[in-house]
Amino acid sequence: MSSVDTQLEELKAEIKSELPADISVSDVTYEGPELVIYTRDPKRFARNGDLIRDLAGTLRKRITVRPDPVALSPPERARERIREVIPEEAGVTDLDFHEDTGEVVIQADKPGVVIGRNGATLREITREVGWTPEVVRTPPIESSTVSNVRDFLKQEREDRRQILERVGRQIHREELANEQWVRITMLGSCREVGRSSFILSTAETRILVDCGEKPGTGESPYMDIPEALGAGANSLDAVVLTHAHLDHSALIPLLYKHGYDGPVYTTEPTRDLMGLLQLDYLDVERKEGRSPPYDPEMVREAIKHAIPIEYGDVTDIAPDVKLTLHNAGHALGSAIAHFHIGDGLYNVAFSGDIHYGETRLFDGAVNDFPRVETLVLESTYGGRNDYQTDQEDSERKLVEAINETHDRGGTVVVPTSAVGRSQELMLVLEEAMREGEIPEMPVHLDGMIWEATAVHTTYPEYLRSDLRDRIFGEEENPFLADAFSQVDGGDDVRREIAEGDPAIVLSPSEMVTSGPITSWLRHAGPDPDSRLVFVDYQAQGTLGRRIQNGLREVPIDDGVGRSETVQLAMDVDTLDGFSGHADRQGLENFVKTMNPRPEKILCVDGDERAVQDLSSGLYHEYHLRTFTPKNLETFRFR
């Protein structure tokens, strides 16, 4: 009998002794980080709302209770009863019964109503029909991304259960190492922006944090070295993804191509957005004439292996590692990944990308942790002069720029990341238009911006609470304002828009030598009445950065594979107040008010100058031990 089986036998005995005698325990298994208890008496279980919570406290595990199949009402009868139990206003749109696990997935417009106060309605459902309800939100804006992911996971349920069981046994394996140490290997994003990737390793466990590409170069993290995949992809215990942007996520599917078969821990919205962005990435690679590093099939593998975690939930991901994700304020579902290692041995937090203050979309990044000795901190705007304008100022300037451009009949083109900044700008534009600060005019959302927006509205828990309320207020969803429309078509449609009446265009910026933005440069670029407004960080070496720096003869792809040069006559502005990244002040404030203050800070994900400035600034200001690691280096902390 393996040590995990022994452990489960012992847990079963302990659970039996903790539960009232009339509740049977037919089986106890691990599914991923969760302990699953099968019972023939789900209704009795449901009667006592505290039983599960108490058990979880005693066993110090996350617990799920599932009905043994014998305890289930037939689906058709159950469906009827569930419809009766759930109040009408919940807006149930789908019920989906899974006999293998005794779960019923309830999709509804208002999940809160399905859940009921403190879960009362859910418990009532189980009491009535035996099934375990799981609630998901019906996307307020239809999202093919979300429905594709949900359909796919439904179809792969059996596979997924096997994955979860294997992962669960792996997490709860007996600890074998007889030494304790903690180290971090830098696979990318050191003294550069992009290709974020780190290995956090202990004597027992190896965890990959992020695996992104380097925008504008196609460079990958150093995956071939022994510390990464050299010893085989399956020598990794876990992958943790801070957020969906490609500079953090693009190469996650590649791990599965290399034989990795373990979990990706991330938030639910990041899982969905990651799929959306990765598929687009493959598309772009193909269009650029490069051979994509993996197939769409591998994106599905990554999604199948994703284990969603909510902010604040402490999750066992290895015998000696607990992971907690915290809001990073940077993009939908973006997280700071906090690792608690050993039993109080060490704590490391990876910031991913952060925004310290609140934005229209998100609360500011969390910087309050039970313990943290080392912080791996993004430094995009870490340079000594990298102070951004207040968003208010930038908004005022944007309004002026739009009015000016509108008055002279031009088009305002804003290249921006489809996930995060686009939605922030939509909120700005919707308000400005509603309040009459800018004239009513069409706002064209190009590429995947619309789809990304739909995903945002599916996960309002991850948005600021006032925004969440607005999305669910009937006519009030700002993302559904009349001005917004999706660009539907190719180069011709974009030319019509660029040459037509005054308009605003939000276009994904990820690609600047081909893709939508090229069309906009070609058609609006030569028009001196039009205007290009940068609102995102433009990485060194990208076309965006070069245009910011004054390049006006812009080499682009003509859409049929040839290269041409566009003469930019449009105005070029940079408004940095909309950034999803903390500026230098924000990074300092994040550290200054961080609780507890870390002993060591590794400055990463900023160019050479930015990390050096931030590192020496934090050292002099707060007397922390700060470092500017190089790629391929390994730091030991314990």
Taking the C-alpha atoms of residue 605 and residue 192, their distance in angstroms, rounded to an integer, is 6
Q: Which of 183, 322, 396, 470 forms a contact with a second copy (CB under 8 A)? A: 183
Question: Does residue 353 have a known ligand-binding role?
Answer: yes
* Member of 103, 192, 280, 353 binding Zn ion (CB under 5 A): 353
Select the binding partner of residue 123 from a second copy, Zn ion, none (C-beta < 5 to 8 A, by kind): none
Indicate which of a second copy, Zn ion, none lies near residue 634 (CB less than 5 to 8 Å, by partner kind).
a second copy
Closest to a second copy by CB, 92 vs 223, is 223
Burial class of residue 592 in the structure, from the number of CB atoms within 10 Å of its CB (0-12 exposed, 13-18 middle, 19+ buried): middle
Judged by beta carbon, residue 235 or residue 574, the one nearer a second copy is 235
The crossing angle, in degrees rounded to 10, of helices 449-458 and 421-434 is 90
Site for a second copy contains 60 (CB under 8 A): no
Calpha distance 557→474 (Å, rounded) = 44
Pairwise CA distance, residues 292 & 523, whole Å: 29
Q: Which residues contact 21 (CB under 8 A, 6 or more apart)?
A: none
Measured from the CB atom, is 318 or 427 closer to a second copy? 318
Which CB, 311 or 635, lies closer to a second copy? 635
Q: Which residue's entry shows tokens 């070496």?
A: 541
DSSP label of 598: P
Query: Residue 624, Cα to own-chain centre: how many angstroms?
Result: 30
Contact indicator for 446, 518 with CB cutoff of 8 Å? no
Beta strands in 407-496 (DSSP E): 411-416, 443-445, 484-486
Is 523 marked as a binding-site residue? no
Strands 238-240 and 484-486: unpaired
Q: Which of 316, 320, 583, 605 binds Zn ion (CB under 5 A)?
A: 605
Of 18-26, 135-143, 225-233, 498-506, the window that binds a second copy (rule: CB under 8 A) is 225-233
Q: Is 245 annotated as a binding residue?
A: yes
Q: In this structure, are strands 571-574 and 563-567 parallel, antiparallel, or unpaired?
A: unpaired
CB of 230 to a second copy, least distance (A): 4
Q: How far apart are CA 122 and CA 114, in angstroms?
A: 7
605 binds, among a second copy, Zn ion, none (CB under 5 to 8 A by kind): Zn ion
Binding segment toward a second copy, per CB under 8 A, in 6-14, 40-48, 229-237, 589-597 = 229-237
User: Phi then psi for 524, rounded to 5 degrees?
Assistant: -100, -20
CB of 174 to a second copy, least distance (A): 17
Residue 230 within binding range of a second copy, rule CB under 8 A: yes
Among 245, 300, 360, 421, binds Zn ion (CB under 5 A): 245
Residues 114-153 that bind a second copy (CB under 8 A): none
What is the nearest approach in angstroms of a second copy to the Cβ of residue 232?
8
Span 274-303, contacts to a second copy by CB under 8 A: none
Tell me the window of 113-121, 485-493, 558-566, 602-610 that interacts with Zn ion (CB under 5 A): 602-610
CA distance 366 to 344: 21
Residue ranges in 30-89 that form contacts with Zn ion under rule CB under 5 A? none
Report the phi/psi class of residue 191: left, alpha or beta, with left for phi > 0 and alpha for psi in -120 to 50: left
Only one of the segments 105-113, 243-251, 320-328, 395-403 lies at the binding site for Zn ion (rule: CB under 5 A); that segment is 243-251
353 binds, among Zn ion, a second copy, none (CB under 5 to 8 A by kind): Zn ion
Q: Count CA atoms closer than 13 A to 397's CA, side-chain side.
A: 16
538-567 residues near a second copy, rule: CB under 8 A: none
What is the identity of the amino acid at 535? V
CB closer to a second copy out of 226 and 436? 226
Token pair 């325990």 is at which residue? 25
Under the binding rule (CB under 5 A), the answer on residue 510 touching Zn ion is no
Residue 245: contacted member of Zn ion, a second copy, none (CB under 5 to 8 Å, by partner type): Zn ion
Length of the chain counted residue by residue: 638
Residue 632 touches which of a second copy, Zn ion, none (Cβ within 5-8 Å per kind): a second copy
Write out the binding residues for Zn ion, residues 446-475 only, by CB under 5 A.
none
Sign of CA dihedral 354, 343, 623, 608: negative
Which residue from 569, 511, 565 is spatially nearest to 538, judged by alpha carbons? 511
Which listed option, Zn ion, a second copy, none, makes contact with residue 623 (CB within 5 to 8 Å by class)?
none
Closest CA to 71 of 45, 119, 39, 116: 39
**Does 320 interact with a second copy (rule: CB under 8 A)?**
no
Is 326 within any annotated ligand binding site?
Answer: no
Contact partner at residue 226 from a second copy, Zn ion, none, CB < 5 to 8 Å by partner kind: a second copy
Binding residue for a second copy (CB under 8 A) from 226, 289, 344, 436?
226
Say if residues 239 and 281 touch (Cβ distance below 8 Å).
Answer: no
Q: Which is nearer to a second copy, 206 or 581 (CB)?
A: 206
Signed CA dihedral, 277, 282, 283, 287: sign only: positive
Per-residue tokens: 152: 């796919």
Minimum CB separation of residue 176 from a second copy in Å reads: 11
How many CA atoms lie less than 13 Å away from 268 in the CB half-sphere? 16
Q: Which stretch binds Zn ion (CB under 5 A): 48-56, 174-182, 352-360, 397-405?
A: 352-360
* Cα(390)–Cα(398) distance, integer angstroms: 12
CB-based contacts of 74: which residues, under 8 Å, 6+ apart?
A: none
Nearest approach, Cβ of 207 to Zn ion (angstroms)? Answer: 18
Q: Record the tokens describing residue 466, joined without a space.
A: 């006032």
Peptide bond into 596 cis (omega under 30): yes
Axis crossing angle, helix 449-458 with helix 144-155, rounded to the nearest 10: 60
Q: Which does 545 bind (CB under 5 to 8 A by kind): a second copy, Zn ion, none?
A: none
Minimum distance from CB of 307 to a second copy (Å)? 24
Alpha carbon distance 28, 317 (integer Å): 19
Segment near a second copy (CB under 8 A); pick from 150-158, 231-239, 463-471, 477-485: 231-239
Q: Which of 180, 235, 513, 574 binds a second copy (CB under 8 A)?
A: 235
Taking CB within 5 to 8 Å according to partner kind, which of a second copy, Zn ion, none is near residue 561?
Answer: none
d(CA 506, CA 535): 11
C-alpha distances in Å from residue 232, one per residue of 209, 250, 374, 534: 17, 20, 28, 42
The SS3 assignment for 69 reads: helix
Rule CB under 8 A: choose which of 54, 407, 469, 633 binds a second copy: 633
Total of chain residues touching a second copy, rule CB under 8 A: 19
Interface pick for a second copy out of 16, 53, 77, 231 (rule CB under 8 A): 231
Is 636 a binder of a second copy (CB under 8 A)?
A: yes
Point out which residues bind Zn ion (CB under 5 A).
245, 353, 605
Task: List binding-site positions for Zn(2+).
Answer: 243, 245, 330, 353
Point out which residues bind a second copy (CB under 8 A).
181, 183, 185, 201, 206, 225-227, 230-232, 235, 630-636
Task: List binding-site positions.
Answer: 243, 245, 330, 353
